[in-house]
Amino acid sequence: MKFEVAPAFEAGSVAATEWPLCHVRLQDDARFPWLILIPRVKGAVELEDLSVEQRAMLIEETVRAGALVRRLGLVEKLNVGAIGNVTAQLHVHVVGRRRDDGLWPDPVWGRGPVVPYTDEERGRLLSILSSSS
C-alpha cells in the first residue's frame, strides 16, 4: 500500500515538496511561517516507529525545515514539536515565532482564528519550498 497523508492535514495545509524521508506541507496560516514534516513510513505514530537511520534523517530534515521557515517570514524563535494528539500519524511541526506574533509566548496549536494565505502569497511560499528540494 502506498503512503497516504492523514485527511486532517488536507484541511489546514498544502503539499509543498518531497524530501528523502518526509512529505513536507505548508500550514495555511499566514500568522506564522509553519512547515509540517510527515515521514513517509507506513503506520508510523511515534518516533520509535522509525529506524535509527530514519530518526537521524528526521532530525536533519527538521533542521533543514527550520532554515526554510526563517526564509518564509520574520522569525525570532523556532518551535518544533511532534505532538500528535489530534492526528496520530507521526509528524513534526516547525513553526516560526516572534515576540509580536499575537500568541507569544503561548503555543499556536488550536489557537485561532486561522488567517489563510492569499493565493499569491501561498504560491510565492510554495515556490521557495519547491526550489529547496
What's the confidence (pLDDT) of residue 28?
97
What's the confidence (pLDDT) of residue 75?
97
Residue 36, φ and ψ in degrees, nearest 5: -120, 125
What's the confidence (pLDDT) of residue 3?
83
> According to the CATH classification, is domain 7-130 in 3.40.228.10?
no
What residues have CB less than 8 Å from 117, skipping those under 6 apart?
Answer: 28, 29, 30, 125
Q: What ranges make up the beta strands (E) of 29-111?
A: 34-39, 77-81, 92-97
pTM flag (> 0.75): yes
What's the confidence (pLDDT) of residue 1?
59
What's the confidence (pLDDT) of residue 54?
98
What's the confidence (pLDDT) of residue 71?
94
**Which stretches in the chain have pLDDT values below 50?**
none
d(CA 29, CA 50): 29
